[in-house]
Amino acid sequence: MSDLEPTLESLRFSLLPARQDDLPAILRLEAEGFGPDERWSERSWSGELLGEGRTVLLARGAQPAGVIALSTVGEVADLHRVVVAPAYRRQGLALRMVRAGLLAVRHLGARVVMLEVMFTNLPAIALYQRLGFEQVRVRRDYYGPGRDALILRLYDLETWPDRFVEAVRATEADLQAERSGIPQETELSHEGGRPPTPPAGFQSLALPEPGACPEGGRPPTPPAGVRSLALPEPGAGEAR
């Protein structure tokens, strides 16, 4: 297997730009991947497909299996959405889509990529860390009361492909562990439920449970090796 491909299973799918007539298939992926309160609307996805500076890639096989959406303005890109159908999870497809999305916005001139992720979504946070993303701030109650978002940034996208080779090797070890029977209850997403407790030695950027810190206090310092640039006081993050 090539160092630049997550798994052989994910190679069954072609990652191609989505078209407007793919909207029904994308909405089916949303319905399969998210609960009613978390799904993007038809209007939101139409905006992604038709908006200026948008990159939407659809994983196509016998049927659509996943979709990723990003936007690019100047040298800054935002990763808006990653959806993988439940039947095709734990096969490295999310990793492959994120990789393809990063390469696409790099080609458009992006040098920095931003994203929001639910602070309890440890599998997604771990994946983004391995791809080189770093935490820059917290947005309190971004997904609702007590549901904070971590704002992550990938710097120096121009040199990122060389760094990604090592990231894939690390991710392949996790995929092998999954195939060996270690349970994984959640898949990469920007919103959703609580993931399982991470294995021993896992370095997470996640914040403590709401209320675990004194009001107005800061969460604990991230563990050694995790680079966090800022953890602002509640309410200090920028609105989005």
Instruction: Say if residue 93 is exposed, middle or buried (CB neighbours under 10 Å; 0-12, 13-18, 19+).
Output: buried
Q: What is the CATH number of domain 9-179?
A: 3.40.630.30
Domain extent listing, the chain: 9-179
Asked whether 129 and 215 are in contact (CB, 8 A), the reply is no
Please give the pLDDT value at position 107: 92
Q: What is the pLDDT along the chain (240 residues), one digit of tens a residue?
A: 433 445 555 567 788 999 999 999 999 999 998 888 889 999 999 999 999 999 999 998 888 999 999 999 999 999 999 999 998 888 888 888 998 999 999 999 999 999 999 999 888 898 898 888 999 999 999 988 999 999 999 998 888 877 776 655 555 554 555 455 544 333 444 433 333 333 333 333 333 333 344 334 444 444 344 444 333 333 333 333
Assessment of whether the complete model's pTM goes beyond 0.95: no
Beta strand 112-118 pairing with 76-84: parallel
**What's the confidence (pLDDT) of residue 206?**
37
What's the pLDDT at 74? Answer: 95
As a whole number of Å, the CA-based R_g of the chain is 17
Tell me what pLDDT residue 202 has. Answer: 35
Please tell me the distance from the alpha carbon of residue 101 to that of residue 9, in angstroms, as a whole number.
19
- DSSP 3-state assignment of 126? helix
Cβ pair 111, 157 in contact under 8 A: yes
Sheet holding 14-17, edge to edge: 14-17, 54-60, 66-73, 76-84, 112-118, 149-154, 134-139
Instruction: List the structure tokens of 104.
Output: 């696409």
Tokens of 180: 């060996």
- 69: β partners: 56, 81
Residue 169 and residue 190: Cα distance in Å, rounded? Answer: 23
Beta bridge partners of 117: 150
Contact 30, 38 (CB under 8 A): no
